[in-house]
Amino acid sequence: MYRIAVIGGDGIGPEIVAEGRKVLEAAADRFSFDIRWEEFDIGAERYLETGELLTEEDLKELSGFRAIYFGAVGDERVLPGVLEKGILLSLRFYFDQYINLRPVRLLEGVTTPLAGKSPRDIDFVVVRENTEDFYVGVGGRVRGRDRATHEIVRNLYNIRFGIDCESDADEMAYQIGIITREGAKRVITYACDLARRRRKKLTSVDKANVLTDMYGLWREVFSEVCGNYKDITTEFAFVDAVTMWFVKNPESFDVVVTPNMFGDIITDLGAMIQGGLGLAAGGNINPGGTSMFEPIHGSAPKYRGLNQANPMATIWAGSMLLDHIGETAAAEKVLAAIGRSIKDGVVTKDMGGMSRTSDVGDYIAALVKNM
């Protein structure tokens, strides 16, 4: 029996998670295991009513779960970034979910915008470092003579550019990225192990030709770690080049490992070449702790309650959750059922179909039980 925490969140989040739960329950019946869901009221509604984002009690309770099934955050009544940073990023950092796993796979029957490419050409995984780089939250703004907090940054700016930021009208902002040897080592090791289970090729993405200090360390650690994996072919690639090769030759990639910010960017490109955000799933993973699985699209509040949202990314994230807890056969069956639903034309409007959110969930659940 598996205890799974559920955070439906905002907008379409609760309804797409409901379809995911329906499919995972069908998988549990088929493969003879049990799931006990425990729901958490975390999101915009509670924040607007109480001012609470994540409480210590929330975090303490969630720490007792191996996996969280997450819908979406975001609400037009709340300033952008408040919910995203206060809930989603806080969960990732609190539970040290240092791996963001994004499969980029084109399923049969899905149209890709890449001319001449088929499912055999688009099947790779991006392993994104999830807790360091420019998302650590070290930054600020400097205005005029405000030296008390930002003296070092102001002086560095003056030395580098020969500009003395002295007048009250002068203003600048800065954001500092941080990569540690241990942070790079653990995510690259994870990527190496994953590549060993797949087609044994690993691509490292960075921008070491410009950001030489941070990504110079990343490259150094990559070379050291991969030296222990002689059976894997490795390569370096700059992030701007990778965006071109994702489009031109996606078949050349197997596992891609990348620092946080670049991973955030290139996985959205990956989502588009696999058919859109409606099929893009992700996992925020701590191999020894609490992990979280979610669709990577937003909360789409204008579609809330209309039974129109595509639940396939959420169901795919559920497949990843099953694989994470060790129910590999069930995970594979769920993914196969998603593919079959697409072939059979049981898809939502965004994929050219006429089915409702609940219709897709019902159909995939039935396939899991009977296919």
* Residues identified as active-site: 135, 207, 240, 264, 268
- The token pair that represents 192 in the structure block: 């190496």
